[in-house]
Amino acid sequence: MDNGYSDGEYSDYELDFFQAVDRNTMAEQAIFDALLELSDDQYYTLFEVQIEHVCGAARVQVFPERAGTLYRCMRCGVAGIIGG
């Protein structure tokens, strides 16, 4: 997988860390993309979207609000806030 990391530039531990960050960033971007067309009256509404999460293909509950987007993966249970 070409991820922009040069061979030998990072230790295996560092490479695993940066790849995990990349996977998380891609999952968060997929959540944003899925909710891109929200209208004002759809904020504060619970949605479920199918995305490629860090744990693999998963359904994710998403609650968009003005301060950020709350999410929870239904497969692995990871929850968090995107944006702000």
Q: What is the dihedral sign for C-alpha 33, 37, 75, 73?
A: positive
Q: Indicate if the pLDDT at residue 1 is higher than 60.
A: no
* 20-32 pLDDT, tens digit each: 899 889 999 988 8
| C-alpha distance from residue 48 to each of 54, 58, 74 (Å) | 16, 10, 9
Q: Write down the pLDDT at residue 7.
A: 63
Give pairs for 12-20: CB < 8 Å, separation 24+.
20/54
Alpha helices in 1-84 (DSSP H): 12-34
31 and 69 Cβ atoms separated by less than 8 Å: yes
